[in-house]
Structure 1
Amino acid sequence: MKLRRLTALLLIALLIAAGGCAGGGDGGDTAGRVRLLVFGAPEELDAYRTLVGAYTGAHPDRQVQLVEASDRKDLVARLATSIAGGEPPELFLMNYRFYGQFAVKDVLEPLDERIAASGTIDPADYYPVAMDAFTWRGRQLCLPQNVSSLAVYYNRTLFEKHGVPLPQPGWTWNDLLTTATALTRDAQGGVIRGTESEGAAQRPAVHGLGIEPSIIRLAPFVWSNGGDIVDDPARPTRLTLDHPAAREALKNLVDLRLAYGVVPTDEEVEAEDDESRFANGRLAMLLSSRRSTTTFRSITGFEWDVAPLPVYRRPIGILHSDAYCMTRGGENKEAAWKFLEYAVSAEGQRIIAATGRTVPSHIEVSNSPAFLGPAQPPRSARVFLDAIPAVRALPTISTWPEIEDVTSGILENALYRGDRLDDVIRQLDEQTRPLFARGEHPR
């Protein structure tokens, strides 16, 4: 009897020990440390510190360490290196355009079962376009914190000073061009028309518009003009910028610098990026997503607001959405899930929305004072919500980050150097086709 009892006690002890070891691997410890990898401007990082502080303040026994990358490329490199080394962070925050390179390697933890068991997360509470963007082959791999779109930030004080009409819903590309031309001014406040500024003794003191020469800035205008940027959004094999609607939108983008001189030169952008130029009052309008709001809320010298994108044939926008993703190899999955669940819950999204960083993916929170409250700019925050029904997502194939990097350099040369349009389109096609061929798809 004594031997049987001793054997039973030893078996129980072994089971308890095994359970304790498993807790580190499968996430049984809700009080363990969670590492969250993010990047952003200082104001954006402050927003995430606020969220983490609120969470750990409510749960003093839980630790969340914010791991801050310098930029998107640094984040991707750190994540890839840590996964390869067997010590990845439990969580990371990433745009839907970039997570496919990790989804295809099966290093992300599917969240479907945790969502189904959650008393906090109901998928019906979130904008479908954002949830769908993080669905890979039938599995929900990440949960979105935001559902932003591209908007036009504008210096309202500058518009009023020069008597230029404010942007209105339904304004066209030609309206944007006319407005940018009217606001491109010399140091004395005089209008500088066309590219005459190139030969002038003094460059414009204020440029009418700032726009990044990239595929993510071009895409919504191609769509609005009735075209597409790829041959098949679900399983793309090539860019289709050679089609008339896409070609027209690309030409109009390039002409902003070459024909009209309303955007800064590449040398000027190198010296002062568009976001800084806008904050310093030297840029009348800037196309950007919601993430610029945190930076611009520090502006004290003028009043600013946001307007919808100009329209070609129909209103359409481009999805900007980031989500929390959990790594398969993270040490403490249960603790990671508890923070993730909090971050995307109504409570967590109210906290981060109040900082200005996000357009909440949680439908109720997006329509609450946490986002729409008039206490801080932009006063026209509803512009972001009005755009949601018409936003489209870019392809999320595994090689999309490489496609963006390649197209960025070519489009920069087109805008700033004046490369021939036919050559630009040919280079874009030739250099991206192999990347499309190598990519894997989420469907």
Structure 2
Amino acid sequence: MTIVRIRSLSALALSTMLALTGCGSGGGLSSGDPVKLLVFGAPEELGAYRTLIEAYQQARSGERIQLIEASDRKDLLARLATSVAGGAPPDLFLMNYRFYGQFAAKGVVEPLDERIAGSSVLDPADYYPVAMEAFRWDDAQLCLPQNVSSLAVYYNRTLFTEYGVPEPTAGWTWNDLVTTATLMTRDDRGLVIKGTEAEGAARLPAVHGLGVEPSIIRLAPLVWSKGGEIVDNPERPTRLTLDSPAARDALRNLIDLRQAYGVVPSDAEVEAEDDESRFLNGRLAMLMTSRRATTNFRTITGFEWDVAPLPVYRQPVGVLHSDAYCMTRGSRNKDAAWRFMEYAMSEEGQRIIAATGRTVPSHMEVSRSPAFLDPDQPPRNSQVFLDAIPTVRALPTVSTWPEIEDLSYGILENAMHRGDKLDDVIRELDAKSRPMFARGENG
């Protein structure tokens, strides 16, 4: 079985593109052209941003925003790098904190401190500090975070009721998760299937108990919950630290979901139907993912679903998922771009995007309002995301982190689906990622 590994845009190519950047002043006056905003997302997510843009344009006569839609995260990174190198960058882009460091390190992103200080709309004290801090680089606020999400466990309430399995609750443990996922892995007659694919070859699952991607961002909160660390120094990392006892245990437990228990879909099954689609189609009982899935899941009509917090080892810990509006230093439409950023980050803008289901608002008051906690819109238990905020930790923003994540995904994917030896997995991750850390820049 061949596992396809995801490779990032090479660091050399990206550095070459960014070295050519036209990062001049870009001017402060509107050129009369629309503000160009580069984003990526599923159709439902893009629909949320169109809703925001339409509201802005109606509220601000004469203002125009052009949404540039990348197909996925890698396409967004490549488009941004190419457009910057070509001297025609978008005015704004929306990016996760884990990926913006490569652009911050090259001076592509416009610092916002002066504009924030002069704003009558935005007060940094209104926003969750953990999200704001994730977008500080060299003591400057480079981007404004629209959301402060974390991982949660989405689950099919209808299936839980049908199979008579208790729904997950706050404080549940990893062992509880494994037990529940085992009980929810069923054949086409609704009977529990225990064990790996080989053991149950005659009874392939019609429903899998759990979906979780084998990635660093999924592994990190499990390691932290056990008391371990992902890297040696979160501020200036030089290596992964998955060789510690806590990290080894968490990694082994993640791999065992497939290798020992068979509760997650096989490699071939994931290639045929990704986990999010499998959940949408009622063939996945639980899915570990972030808030961004909500807009897609609100299209579900065939069953009831909700969210539960992550399982706990020693202590509850979440991993930060946060995307921010960033202005390019080469923008020729900065004043108009800033006006849209102010609106998008204002209470009004945050309420609009929160109502679509896309975000856990970074604006504290909006996050506690019906715009986010609407009891008439699933998930019923959106409070789970707010309860997690005090526990969330950010992953490193070292400029080479996207490469490290992509490298790790391929190796962890092989481990989960091929059963590679744990010691070999940890050694390979360490050996191949160290040069990436060495090339990285930190804010």
For 2:163, the equivalent position in structure 1 comes to 162
The answer to whether the Cα contact below 8 Å between 1:39 and 1:69 also exists between their aligned partners in 2 is yes
The 1:211/1:383 distance shift into structure 2, 3 A limit, reads same
Pairing 1:265–2:266 present? yes
The answer to whether the Cα contact below 8 Å between 2:215 and 2:409 also exists between their aligned partners in 1 is yes
Structure 1 residue 33, shift from structure 2 partner: 1.3
Structure 1 residue 81, shift from structure 2 partner: 0.2
For 2:13, the equivalent position in structure 1 comes to none
For 2:152, the equivalent position in structure 1 comes to 151
For 1:123, the equivalent position in structure 2 comes to 124
Instruction: Report SS of the residue matched to 1:62.
Output: coil
Structure 1 residue 42, shift from structure 2 partner: 0.3
Distance 1:209 1:369 in 2: 30
The 1:196/1:138 distance shift into structure 2, 3 A limit, reads closer
For 2:3, the equivalent position in structure 1 comes to none
Q: Any idea what the Cα deviations from partners look like across 1:30-88, whole Å, max 9, x if unmatched? A: 86410000000000000000000000111230110000000000000000000000000
For 1:403, the equivalent position in structure 2 comes to 404
Output aligned runs, 1:61-80, within 5 Å.
61-80=62-81
Pairing 1:209–2:210 present? yes
Instruction: Report SS of the residue matched to 1:268.
Output: helix
Which one has the bigger helix percentage?
A: 1
Distance 2:276 2:198 in 1: 22
For 2:46, the equivalent position in structure 1 comes to 45
Q: Which amino acid aligns with 1:141?
A: L
Output aligned runs, 1:173-184, within 5 Å.
173-184=174-185
Instruction: Report SS of the residue matched to 1:148.
Output: coil
Distance 2:333 2:113 in 1: 18
For 1:186, the equivalent position in structure 2 comes to 187
For 1:13, the equivalent position in structure 2 comes to none
Q: Which amino acid aligns with 1:58?
A: A
> Structure 1 stretches of 5 or more lacking a match?
1-23
For 1:292, the equivalent position in structure 2 comes to 293
For 2:241, the equivalent position in structure 1 comes to 240
Output aligned runs, 1:413-428, within 5 Å.
413-428=414-429
Distance 2:367 2:223 in 1: 28
For 2:436, the equivalent position in structure 1 comes to 435
For 1:56, the equivalent position in structure 2 comes to 57
Structure 1 residue 27, shift from structure 2 partner: 2.4
For 1:12, the equivalent position in structure 2 comes to none
Identity %: 75
For 2:337, the equivalent position in structure 1 comes to 336
Distance 1:381 1:199 in 2: 36
Distance 1:267 1:90 in 2: 41
Distance 1:330 1:441 in 2: 24
- Structure 1 stretches of 4+ moved >6 Å: none
Structure 1 residue 103, shift from structure 2 partner: 0.2
The answer to whether the Cα contact below 8 Å between 1:90 and 1:332 also exists between their aligned partners in 2 is yes
Structure 1 residue 307, shift from structure 2 partner: 0.2
The 1:232/1:25 distance shift into structure 2, 3 A limit, reads closer
Q: Which amino acid aligns with 1:341?
A: E
The answer to whether the Cα contact below 8 Å between 1:31 and 1:335 also exists between their aligned partners in 2 is no
For 1:320, the equivalent position in structure 2 comes to 321
Instruction: Report SS of the residue matched to 1:357.
Output: coil
The answer to whether the Cα contact below 8 Å between 2:292 and 2:358 also exists between their aligned partners in 1 is yes
Structure 1 residue 200, shift from structure 2 partner: 2.2
Structure 1 residue 29, shift from structure 2 partner: 2.6
Q: Any idea what the Cα deviations from partners look like across 1:87-108, whole Å, max 9, x if unmatched? A: 0000000000000000000111
The answer to whether the Cα contact below 8 Å between 1:32 and 1:62 also exists between their aligned partners in 2 is no
Q: Which amino acid aligns with 1:314?
A: Q
The answer to whether the Cα contact below 8 Å between 1:30 and 1:338 also exists between their aligned partners in 2 is no
Which has the greater radius of gyration? 1
Distance 1:200 1:266 in 2: 15
The 1:164/1:199 distance shift into structure 2, 3 A limit, reads closer
Name the TM-score, length of structure 1 as normaliser: 0.93
> Structure 2 stretches of 5 or more lacking a match?
1-24
Pairing 1:374–2:412 present? no
Pairing 1:356–2:393 present? no
The answer to whether the Cα contact below 8 Å between 2:194 and 2:200 also exists between their aligned partners in 1 is no
Structure 1 residue 199, shift from structure 2 partner: 4.5
Structure 1 residue 239, shift from structure 2 partner: 0.5
Count of matched residue positions in the alignment of Structure 1 and Structure 2 = 419
Instruction: Report SS of the residue matched to 1:169.
Output: coil
For 2:5, the equivalent position in structure 1 comes to none
Name the TM-score, length of structure 2 as normaliser: 0.93
Q: Which amino acid aligns with 2:361?
A: P
Q: Which segment drifts farther, 156-165 or 143-152?
A: 156-165
The answer to whether the Cα contact below 8 Å between 2:26 and 2:329 also exists between their aligned partners in 1 is no
The answer to whether the Cα contact below 8 Å between 2:31 and 2:332 also exists between their aligned partners in 1 is no
Q: Which amino acid aligns with 2:310?
A: L
Distance 2:382 2:205 in 1: 30
For 2:347, the equivalent position in structure 1 comes to 346
Instruction: Report SS of the residue matched to 2:107.
Output: coil
Distance 2:165 2:123 in 1: 46
Q: Which amino acid aligns with 1:428?
A: L
The answer to whether the Cα contact below 8 Å between 2:122 and 2:342 also exists between their aligned partners in 1 is yes
Q: Which amino acid aligns with 2:324?
A: A
Instruction: Report SS of the residue matched to 1:206.
Output: coil
Q: Which amino acid aligns with 2:130?
A: V
Distance 1:29 1:87 in 2: 15
